Structure 1
């Protein structure tokens, strides 16, 4: 089985005034540090090229479009792709995608070690709301600016490892991991931009926010016998705090690397993908133990129903 050194490129805040060039310089700097650490696969956060713009209610199409990428790679991101290719490091990062048809998605891409895009994922579980909500402490308007992803939960064999991607709120939904697990996934890469304050439950606190993030990532790894990398964009961004807590989790659900700051930081873990085999052939041997004849409710309905 394959062994790879996996890195998580946590990023500190990106302010609205920061140019793409400035952001790419930071991403390349993290890439250089990763190369020095022997990293072969480096994961960046959700919306790695811009501030987390869904915190603002906007109506001007031109203002909104400025946060979106029409092509990938493009002139701004070309230096990142070129350096990753030179260093022979596969990368994954998130961005706001505007398609030629005018559709908008919260997207992540995956490259091979030659800098070629080999995978694309579009965020499925969009949190928040679509119109201004005066009852919230701050807005979370992903449903306004993005469509739910239309590509499902695909996997790709990259560097001889079965890899999948998800984005932010997807990590809280067990369906995400199980759809990937049923395709034999061995590495799930998840970038996130998570506010430190719950806009509808302000007393929840940072500690609980970090606990829930860890809980989701660790459970998904254990229940599907896969490595999971969760990578944050963190810190005080345009006056709004985001959690850090980037981690790498092994197939037993154990955290094997953790960020210590809310800034640009590299976390690294050597991963032996033979470790996925035990769980996949014992307690989570799906072919032997799953009972899908009893799971129809999962896909037959959306909201919960009380029938007693």
Structure 2
């Protein structure tokens, strides 16, 4: 970190609903970011694919027109915003790498507007209403934290949050925060009990990553309803609930499910050191006995 270990880091979260109007989405994101900066944010995190609708509810080749290069229009727009705000930004974009080759990519923009680094989503779902394998090639950049002026950021994306291996590898590589831009919600025909189980599991899994790795976790989800263009499902009600957890899994902040929210949360960066001294999970890992983790299944 560029600042002393006993200092705090102020993190801004932007939880928003989206439409198909890119310019409106950009203005909304930028406005919330400016308000976060006014509240003292040094790092601002946006949700997954925040420049448009969550287009993966259907498989439609026309949606590939939404993909963009990196660097490209979004990194230029948010690069100028980062310079204006003197703040580090975490973006989530549909990256066009080559014809027919696209990724779901998080990009970290440094305070001077430059690209500090990027992470390509490694785990790609393919479920009803989440047909991401049609659009996204699995990432090939590994689990490598991105060094910035506010610290070493372990940026992962949405479906990655269900995998303890991803969080662990980021932590072992020196990540000081785990950050998850996310787009997840209820399929509207699920009953109330199932909806509660899904949301609770999502929160529990990420808080567990905080505990197991002794690191703060920042999870920023979208909110609002987006219909299924095909009409096959009832659409997705994104459940918001963006949150920040400390290194013992304690809540530092939680947003509501159904409201657009921007918030600034203070993270005590000394607590990682303090917690790892009393819960020395890294010391007690049996790295000699974990070879099976590289297998698909132990028959």
TM-score over 0.5 for the pair: yes
Partner residue of 1:268? 264
Q: 1:184-223 alignment to 2 at 5 Å?
A: 184-197=174-187, 205-223=194-212
Contact 1:236–1:242 (Cα < 8 Å) also in 2: yes
Structure 2 equivalent of residue 81 of structure 1: 79
* Cα shift readout 1:184-240 (whole Å, capped 9, x = no counterpart): 2211110111121388x7675332222112101111011111111000111101343
For residues 120 and 191 of structure 2, what CA distance do their matches in structure 1 show? Answer: 29
1:171 is paired with a residue of what secondary structure?
Answer: helix
Counterpart of 1:268 in 2: which secondary structure?
strand
Mapped pair 1:297 → 2:292: yes
- CA distance in 1 between counterparts of 2:205 and 2:212 reads 11
Alignment partners' CA distance in 1, 2:196 and 2:129 = 21
**Regions of 4+ moved over 4 Å:** 201-204
Match of 1:183 in 2: 173
Q: Residues of 2 paired with 1:234 and 1:197: CA distance? A: 13
Give the match for residue 232 of structure 2: none
TM-score (norm 1): 0.87
The TM-score with structure 2 as length reference comes to 0.89
Question: Matches of 1:85 and 1:29 in 2, distance apart?
Answer: 15
Residue deviations 1:12-54, cap 9 Å, x none?
2x23xx2221111001111111012111100001111121111
Aligned partners of 2:64 and 2:135 also within 8 Å: no
Alpha-carbon RMSD: 2.0
**Equivalent residue, structure 2, for 1:134:** none
- Equivalences for residues 114-125 of structure 1 within 5 A: 114-125=112-123
The residue number in structure 2 matching 1:4 is 9
The number of residues matched between the two structures is 287
In structure 2, runs of 5+ residues without a counterpart are 228-234
| 1:39 alignment counterpart | 41
Shift of 1:285: 4.8
Is the contact between residue 82 and residue 110 of structure 2 (CA under 8 Å) also seen in structure 1? no
The yes-or-no answer on 1:279 pairing with 2:269 is no
Q: Determine the C-alpha separation between the residues in 2 that align with 1:284 and 1:112.
A: 32
**Would you say the 8 A contact 1:231–1:247 is kept in 2?**
yes
Tell me the equivalent position of 1:241.
Answer: 237
Q: Is the 8 A contact 2:88 2:150 kept in 1?
A: no
1:305 to 1:203, Cα distance in 2 relative to 1, 3 A = farther
CA displacement at 1:160 relative to structure 2: 4.5
Compared with structure 1, are the counterparts of its residues 250 and 295 closer, same or farther at alpha carbon in structure 2 (3 Å cutoff)? Answer: same
Paired with 1:170 and 1:289, the residues of 2 have a C-alpha distance of 25
Question: What's the CA shift for 1:170?
Answer: 0.6
Contact 1:197 1:205 in 2 (8 A): no
